[in-house]
């Protein structure tokens, strides 16, 4: 499967997009986008960068619009309904493409949602970019989760991420001088992701 597709979710239609490596698939990577009320969509540059990075690693790489975004039906639900949307996409992919190792990834609000999803589906691996700690009640995540953050993030301060990550013993990859949207640093994010998940 490649390109745009739609599934039926808990609140109605969910719009999604897949990059498919073909027969070389090593798993499914699901990427979640930033906050719907602040312009977040699956077309976000960080989200697209993550999706393409996972494609290059051999994952069936899928991004989707949360309810109320693009052609997805419904209204913003503070993370609860969005978690249901992500699980619905995973269930659809597993039913139609086979149960493959699962990698969850998200940017900002999408990182918060994927941390919630991980408590329901137990992914093999995770990659969160500037997850929205401090803005939402962010669950703990499994050891080995890749965390990428900008040093000069003025939306989710680096100190907030450290405060959340420290008790869990997580390492954090910090991009010096980078802000929340990683302008000019997308290639660096792709390199970090591909280096981390190559094996």
Mean pLDDT throughout 8-24? Answer: 96
pLDDT higher than threshold 90 for residue 73: yes
Average pLDDT over residues 142-148: 97
Q: What is the mean pLDDT of the chain?
A: 97
Closest CA to 59 of 96, 15, 14, 104: 104
Closest CA relative to residue 49, chosen from 26, 28, 31: 31
Number of alpha carbons in the 13 Å side-chain half-sphere of residue 145: 27
pLDDT band at 24 (very low <50, low <70, confident <90, very high): confident
Write the pLDDT tens digit of every residue in 153-170.
999 999 999 999 999 999
Instruction: Give dist(CA 145, CA 136) in Å, integer.
Output: 19
pLDDT exceeds 90 at position 123: yes
Classify domain 3-197 by CATH number. 3.40.50.1820
In degrees, rounded to 5, the angle at the alpha carbon of residue 3 between the alpha carbons of residues 68 and 28 is 85
> Can you give the residue ranges of every domain in the chain?
3-197
pLDDT value, residue 33: 98
Percent of the chain with pLDDT over 70: 100
Q: What is the DSSP string of the chain?
A: --EEEEEEETTEEEEEEEE--GGG--EEEEEE-S-GGGT--TT-HHHHHHHHHHHHTTEEEEEEPPTTSTT--S---TTHHHHHHHHHHHHHHHHHH----EEEEEETHHHHHHHHHHHHH--SEEEEES--BTTB-PPP--TT-EEEEETT-SSS-HHHHHHHHGGGT---EEETT--TT-TT-HHHHHHHHHHHH--
């Amino acid at each position: 499967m490649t390109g745009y597709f739609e599934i039926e979710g808990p609140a109605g239609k969910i719009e999604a997009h897949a990059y498919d490596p073909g027969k070389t698939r090593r798993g499914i990577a699901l990427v979640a986008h930033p906050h719907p009320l602040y312009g977040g969509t699956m077309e976000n540059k960080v989200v697209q960068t993550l999706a393409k990075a996972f494609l290059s690693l051999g994952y069936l790489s899928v991004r989707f619009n949360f309810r109320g975004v693009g052609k997805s039906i419904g209204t913003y639900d503070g993370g609860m309904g969005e978690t249901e949307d992500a699980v619905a996409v995973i269930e659809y992919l597993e039913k139609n493409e086979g149960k493959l190792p699962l990698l969850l990834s998200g940017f900002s609000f999408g990182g918060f949602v994927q941390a919630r999803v991980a408590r329901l589906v137990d992914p093999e691996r995770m990659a969160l970019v500037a997850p929205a700690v401090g803005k939402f009640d962010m669950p703990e995540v499994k050891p080995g989760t890749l965390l990428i953050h900008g040093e000069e993030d003025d939306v989710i301060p680096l100190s907030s991420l450290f405060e959340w990550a420290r008790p869990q013993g997580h390492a954090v990859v910090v991009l010096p001088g980078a802000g929340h949207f990683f302008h000019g640093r997308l290639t660096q994010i792709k390199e970090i992701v591909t280096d981390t998940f190559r094996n």
